[in-house]
Structure formats: structure tokens, C-alpha cells
Structure 1
């Protein structure tokens, strides 16, 4: 949607998954006292839910390009359905806790956190527009799988799970909107560049 560098985004996603396995067990106890992290459980969750499906998809694409070209619509529908089921189940299980979040500063804090992350990623994304957009969105996007694994293993307070889902939902809505706007601006810039090029060619003639 943001008209970013797709190949770079895949590389960034894989890098972030691998780094998370080693980084989170070291960093999290420094911020939250009394928290124990099982890096094997985190690694297992990330590998099974993200890294393995990605490797499988890349393998299918490399070996069976014709089959792979017809799968994106089906995979998109399956992904959207899974996301819908996840959020519906969350609302059913944590509805009372979610109501308590409404009117608090939790949602505002989540939005501010995501926007700051986006800005940091954007300005550290180099000079190429396609790369800047990917790094901005990648920095703002939270690793939901790792967060859920850590929450389930270390916390009994339902507010922890609620806050994770609030950040995930806020990020999904916010970044979808921002990504769409970035894509429109990128397309507008390309069209303007093409129009200028056409004008120059016409003048040259």
C-alpha cells in the first residue's frame, strides 16, 4: 500500500524476527523486574508462526512460480479472516477489561508510541523514499507473536494482554491509514515526474 521496497521489507521482517529471539530475553528483564523470559519458547513461537510460513512461501515461489502467482488472493483472504477471528475472540474473552480501557489514556499512549516509532524509522531510513517508507512502517509495527508469547508465559494480569491487543489494533488501523497515504503521495510524485519528463521531451522536439 505504501509503495515501498517489497524485497527490503521482507529482509527487514526476517531480520527483526531473528533479532527479537536474542534481544527480548536480554532487554525485557532490564525494563520489568521479576520477569523471566524463556528464549526457546519465544523462538519456537516466532519460527512456527512467522519464519516457517515465510520460508515455505519463498520456496513455493522459487519452485512453482505459476502456482505462487495465483495464491496471493487466497492467502490475503485467509490472512484477513484469521485476523478477524483473532480480534473477535479477543473482544469476547476480554470485553470487560476492554471497556475499562475506553476513557483511559491507554489508547492515546499506544497511538503516541506508534507515531514516535514511525517518525524515528522514517528519518533513519536513508535517502531512498521506498526504503524510508518501509523502515518507518517496520519500526512502528509491533511483533504481536512475540508479545503474546511473553504475556502468556509471564503475566496473569489480563490488563497486559488487553494493552498488547490495544497497541496491535491501534497499530493496524493507524499504519493502514498512513501506508495508504504514503502510497498515494508516492504515486503522485511518480506521475509528476513523468509529466515533467514528457514536457521536457516535448520541448526538446
Structure 2
């Protein structure tokens, strides 16, 4: 029975990643992605925060908090994988610059696909990983579906508007199924980490990444919140693809799942607080990002 559930969980990972990337592509245009990224300085600081500072934070945490090897691998995977599809929702909650959030999300995800296969063997010298396998899986499961979705959106807007909600629903269903299966398969392993250094390590990674991203996020609260949330919300999809495909120890995936739950709780609270501050600064109804959110909805209009 356990073997069957593990196979279903593996399938759920694949379905979740592919359909979430398709849904993202079907809901966006190239101009929506590239437009907010014209500020080179803002983009450079976001890349610095996500791909230099956060991995350094992870290694400082590992130096201070003793973890097992699989837990250390999971923490490093989270620290190197950026560009979470959930970011625009967090940015909308924070009443930040939603257009910039979308562009940053896609940029971080694309860079992650190239970055993780290069740096993971260097950051985990005692762990055997195949960079080409990692790169291939990320390209096939993430970039290719995203590109297909963008192409369909650009050429067949009506089709994209019809298919996108179905892909999003399939992605959400696969994610719920995945979480349930992982909880069932690894229940005692997850219970075992409660009150341990792993919780401290993961919380430290999320909070410190949020602070660093916020400080490097630019002159306004709207962009600070975007970079802060984008830096703290790591790419669980990419981490699961690499973790499930390259590491046999279930504690690696357990670490990723616990990290995902902690991120969700911490960043929803942080996003809400950012949103309250934005309203108090600009007045109710101003700077909420509603205009940008509307522009992200698929519609049969010219791109």
C-alpha cells in the first residue's frame, strides 16, 4: 500500500508543477512579465537577495543549528530555489506593486532553473547529484509548460481564458492531494521534527529572508513588500522536483513540506501587515494593486 501511495505522490508532484506552470503562462503576457523588470537596479538587488544573500543565510543557520544531512539538504534546496507562483497572491494581500510581483516571480523562476543545477553540487559537496538531470527536469516540468502557456495566451486568448481556470484548479487539487499523501506517508517523521532545531532553522530562513528582501526592495513600501515576500517565499515546486527526483531519504521532502507550511503562515501574516501599513500610508482604496490585478486576468483582448 505504501508503494502505491508513494507512486501517487510522485505523480501528484508532476501534475502540480506542470499544471501550475501552464496556468501561470495562460494567465500572462510577455509584456506583463517584462514591463516591470526595466528597472535594472531593482532587479539586480532582488537577484542579489535571492541567489546570494539567502544561500549565505542558510549556511549561517546550518553552522549555528545542528541538522541531519537530509534536513540540511532540504534547507539548502529551499535557499537556492526562488520564484514561487504564490507570490502575486501575497503581493496583492500586501497591497504592493502586483505587476512588479508577477515580473519578479517569473524572473526568479527562470534564473532558478539555471542556478540550481550549477550551485547545488558546489553547496552540497558530500551529496551526489547530477546537474544535467536537475536542469533537464526543471526545464521540462517548469519552463516548457510556462512557454506553452504564454504561446497559447498570445495566439489564442479565448482558449487560454477557458483552459486557465481548469489548469489552476487541477494544480490546487494536486497540491492538496500531495500534502495529504506526504502527511500520511511521513506522519511520524513530521511529528518528530516538532520542537527540534529544524523548526528553528526553517523559521529563521523565512524571517531573515523576508527582512533582507524588504531592506533591499527599493525606496517605496510597495516595492519593498514585493522583494521581501518574493525573497522569503521560496519555490517549493522547484525544490520538490529536485528533492523528490534526486534524494531517496524522505526527510528531504519532509523538510520541504514543513518549510512550505511555515512559509505560508508567516508570509500571509506578513503580507497582511504590509497591507495595513500601505492603507494607512496612502489612504483606503489607493495603491492597492487592484488595477494591476485586473490586468492579469485572462481576457480575449489584444496582447
Note whether the superposition's TM-score is higher than 0.5: yes
The answer as to whether partners of 2:105 and 2:230 remain within 8 angstroms in 1 is: yes
Q: Which residue of 1 aligns with 2:264?
A: 172
Q: Any stretches of 5+ residues in structure 2 without a counterpart?
A: 1-92, 287-303
Q: Deviations over 1:76-99 (max 9, x none)?
A: 544433332221111011112111
Is 1:182 matched with 2:271? no
Q: Any stretches of 5+ residues in structure 1 without a counterpart?
A: 195-205
Count how many residue pairs are aligned between Structure 1 and Structure 2: 194
CA shift for structure 1 position 114: 0.4
Q: Which residue of 2 aligns with 1:122?
A: 214
* CA distance in structure 2 between the aligned counterparts of 1:147 and 1:193, rounded to whole angstroms: 37
* CA distance in structure 1 between the aligned counterparts of 2:153 and 2:282, rounded to whole angstroms: 29
CA shift for structure 1 position 110: 0.7
- Match 1:83 to one of 160, 175, 178: 175
Q: SS of the residue aligned with 1:103?
A: coil
CA shift for structure 1 position 19: 1.9
The answer as to whether partners of 1:46 and 1:145 remain within 8 angstroms in 2 is: no
Q: Which residue of 2 aligns with 1:16?
A: 108
Residue 7 to residue 51, structure 1, CA distance change in 2 (3 Å): farther
The answer as to whether partners of 2:213 and 2:230 remain within 8 angstroms in 1 is: yes
Q: Rg: which structure is higher?
A: 1
The answer as to whether partners of 1:22 and 1:39 remain within 8 angstroms in 2 is: no
Q: Which residue of 2 aligns with 1:100?
A: 192
Q: Which moved more, 1:37-46 or 1:65-74?
A: 65-74
Alignment RMSD: 2.7
TM (normalized to structure 2)? Answer: 0.55
Q: Which moved more, 1:49-58 or 1:130-139?
A: 49-58
CA shift for structure 1 position 57: 4.2
Q: Deviations over 1:20-57 (max 9, x none)?
A: 23322332233322323333433343334433444444
Q: Which residue of 2 aligns with 1:159?
A: 251
* CA distance in structure 2 between the aligned counterparts of 1:139 and 1:10, rounded to whole angstroms: 13
Residue 56 to residue 154, structure 1, CA distance change in 2 (3 Å): closer
* CA distance in structure 1 between the aligned counterparts of 2:272 and 2:157, rounded to whole angstroms: 28
Q: Which residue of 2 aligns with 1:37?
A: 129
Residue 63 to residue 170, structure 1, CA distance change in 2 (3 Å): same
TM (normalized to structure 1)? Answer: 0.78
* CA distance in structure 1 between the aligned counterparts of 2:145 and 2:100, rounded to whole angstroms: 18
